[in-house]
A and B are shown apart, each in its own frame.
Chain A
């Protein structure tokens, strides 16, 4: 397989996406952490992160992508997202506030630090859940038997 790769007609796509995939993943994290101050947030970051994985699958093949990001991880990622979101709410309970009342993370802060930490944690949960869901949907559709084989056209 590795011998074929060097002579593949998709050499340009492979090289460019090798450069771009880490940048796309980094940009997803930027969108996530910048969500406090500008446009962005967990959902968008999750979609961008998933698009990096989907680009990998489109260029290098679904089997390679499933070796890099196994479907079991994807399922864990999805449920971990919901757990982080709900867990943030439970943590605020334990700290003595209402469900998802982020002020109880830093009640003495004068610049609402609790809100910042809380929204970042909640959005991190959204990021995990959305990334997992997007990649899972892609794997589910991509794993179907194609109607038209690549060699047929």
Chain B
């Protein structure tokens, strides 16, 4: 009776872990396909490598029970945990070093020492920007 319960628990835990791993792998694949530039894609790929693969390996360890197989799986998990973030770091570092610029939106971090704009001022600026953008668009249409 107790043994049966343990087996069911083992199965459920490993199934949940592997399902989580599969979710992260699929999320990473979608990210690699859909994200706009190199850095964001590497971010998605790094997620797949570490979190997805780790969770699948953990699920397999739970499934294998206490045996030589699970020891080997634990070693693989340990090595993957060390190497794949390092590989992502190295690839991104190389791209940054080679001068690849990330794709930036209109929001950016403050430069060191820069004061954040007051709220009303920022709003006014945003409004004026929108207005000028509209004007320029209108001009283009006229032309």
Question: Interface residues, chain A, CB within 8 Å of chain B?
Answer: 9-10, 12-13, 16, 19-20, 23, 153
> In chain B, residues 71-86, which have Cβ atoms closer than 8 Å to a Cβ of chain A?
79, 82-83, 86
- How far is B86's CA from A67's CA once the two chains are assembled, in angstroms? 26
B86 touches A13 (CB 8 A): yes
Given contacts A9-B93, A20-B83, 6 further A-B contacts (CB under 8 A): A13-B86, A13-B89, A20-B79, A23-B79, A153-B97, A153-B98
Q: CA–CA, A16 to B89, complex, Å?
A: 11
Judge whether B90 is part of the interface by a CB distance below 8 angstroms: yes
Contact check, A16 vs B86: say whether CB atoms are below 8 A apart: yes
A30 shortest CB reach to chain B, Å: 10
Interface of A is mostly: helix
A19 close to B82 (CB less than 8 A): yes
Number of chain B residues close to chain A: CB under 8 A: 10
B99 lies within 8 A of chain A by Cβ: yes
Residues in A with CB closer than 8 Å to B79 are 20, 23
Among candidates A9, A10, A16, residue contacting B82 with C-beta atoms closer than 8 Å: A16
Complex CA–CA separation, A28 to B23 (angstroms) = 34
Residues of chain B within 8 A of A13, CB atoms compared: 86, 89-90
On whether the beta carbons of A153 and B99 are closer than 8 Å, the reply is yes
CA distance A22 to B50 in the complex (A): 22
- The contact of B86 among A9, A12, A23, A153, by CB within 8 Å, is A12
Q: A13 to B90: give the CA distance in the assembly, Å.
A: 7
Q: Which residue of B lies closest to A19 (CB)?
A: B82
Residue of A nearest to B78 (CB): A23
Which of A9, A16, A20 has the largest count of B CB atoms less than 10 A from its CB?
A16
Q: Give 19 pairs: A residue, B residue, CB < 8 Å, sorted on A.
A: A9-B93, A9-B97, A10-B93, A12-B86, A12-B89, A13-B86, A13-B89, A13-B90, A16-B82, A16-B83, A16-B86, A19-B82, A20-B79, A20-B82, A20-B83, A23-B79, A153-B97, A153-B98, A153-B99
